[in-house]
Amino acid sequence: MTTVAEASSTSSWATTVGIYNPACTNGELRCWAEATNHVDQLEQVVYQSLDASMVQKKHHICVSFPHLKDSYWAGVAFGIISEAKRLNQKITILEAGGYTNLETQLNQVDDCIANGADALIIGPISSHGNAKQIDLIRAQGIPVIVIITGINTVVDANSLQSFATMGFTTCQWIALQHQQDQEKVKIIWFPGPPSAGWSISADQGCRQALLGTQVEILDTKWGDTGKAIQLKLVEAAMQTHVLADQPEFDYIVGTATSIEGAVGALRSRKLDKEVKLVAYYYTPGMDMFIRRGQVAMAPSDQMIIQARVSVDQAVRLLEGLPMATGGRPEFGQTGRLTEHVQPPIIIVTPENIDNFESHTTLAPKYWSPVFSVD
């Protein structure tokens, strides 16, 4: 048995995951609030992947992403492609170009299904807007696996970290740094796209973590995660909240692209020593800036592991093989046994980054996504 890090192009791998019990695979938001599904209470189990020799057939799996504009989703693509090659599966990757392009994602998925897809792995743009299409696809007997971003309808499996937990973990970390402070610590918050389920969840998680603490949100700036858009939002926030060269805030917190823009914006105003930067997910940019001491913290949700697990889940469903974890009862006593897993969150700071095993999170340097594997 090998770990994800050691897995060759054909060998199986194993990794630790948290398993939701009950499984949040039927679209019920209340499931996420179950005490047993809190990040601190999730049962930790070993996820053992399929051996390539166990797979009988090459299946066509459609994979739909909101976009491939940043290195986060490139990491997800790397995980998908690596696992598809290992299991000798056909993959078609679709990217909609951004979180405002729901119709594009819907049309791309329709076309891929019409071209004979056997399964769909999807990071939905909208937790509500993608739901009807997923219902129709599953009605055809085609399994749907949700990855990274959530959906408010019934699916067959989740390889999915809670972004409410990502937001909570990030803002809790900031609050813990200031438990003894007498004065309020102020942050400007950049949660991401205003209509995406993951960014809304992250916003809710962050706000929950800050209740009763010395940290307060001074301003919130919503927007697509494109670098140009986030830089404009950062610049606008500074225009409003930097008076006579003095910032009214102590932290900029948000998406990785927000923080990438903030690094240069703070430096150009000579405020990089006065304002700290924290992202709520991990990218190669965050890795570089943490190593340089320019970003104080970013948590990894180990998206490459999430991606590889989703392909393994899809193949198991298509081949009628048992779930790697055995599954857990679905929320709401539906009678279904389903699988919803997530890898542990890893807090990365300048103090511990040398011990961070980035292969679970970052695609190899200079790797570029391909859109199909035959």
pTM equals 0.91
pLDDT of residue 8: 43
State both tokens at 147.
Answer: 């990855």
What is the C-alpha separation between 296 and 298, in angstroms, rounded?
Answer: 7
SS3 call for 217: strand
- CATH number of this structure's domain 163-300, picked from the four choices 3.40.50.2300, 3.30.420.40, 3.30.70.1290, 2.40.110.10: 3.40.50.2300
| C-alpha radius of gyration, the chain, whole number | 20
Question: Does 317 score more than 80 pLDDT?
Answer: yes
Cα atoms in the Cβ-side hemisphere of radius 13 Å centred on 51 = 4
The predicted-structure confidence for 8-66, as pLDDT tens digits, reads as follows 467 899 999 999 999 999 999 899 989 999 888 999 999 999 999 999 999 999 999 99
**Whether the Cβ atoms of residue 125 and residue 66 lie closer than 8 Å to each other:** yes
The predicted-structure confidence for 218-233, as pLDDT tens digits, reads as follows 999 999 988 999 999 9
The predicted-structure confidence for 146-192, as pLDDT tens digits, reads as follows 999 889 999 999 999 989 999 999 999 999 999 999 999 999 999 99
Q: Judging by beta carbons within 10 Å of its beta carbon (0-12, 13-18, 19+), is residue 88 exposed, middle or buried?
A: middle
Residue identified by tokens 């939905």 is 124
SS3 call for 205: helix
Beta strand pairing call for 372-373 and 90-95:
antiparallel
pLDDT of residue 5: 39
pLDDT of residue 286: 97
What is the C-alpha separation between 76 and 282, in angstroms, rounded?
Answer: 12
What is the C-alpha separation between 224 and 227, in angstroms, rounded?
Answer: 9
- In the chain, where does the domain assigned CATH 3.40.50.2300 lie? 2-161+301-345, 163-300
pLDDT of residue 123: 96
Alpha helices in 117-196, H assignment, sequence order: 131-139, 163-177
**Whether the Cβ atoms of residue 21 and residue 326 lie closer than 8 Å to each other:** no
Convert 157-179 into a string of H (helix), E (strand) and C (coil). EEECCCHHHHHHHHHHHHHHHCC
CATH code, residues 2-161+301-345: 3.40.50.2300
Residue 281 identity: Y
Beta strand pairing call for 2-3 and 13-19:
parallel
The predicted-structure confidence for 62-103, as pLDDT tens digits, reads as follows 999 999 988 889 999 999 999 999 999 999 999 999 989 999
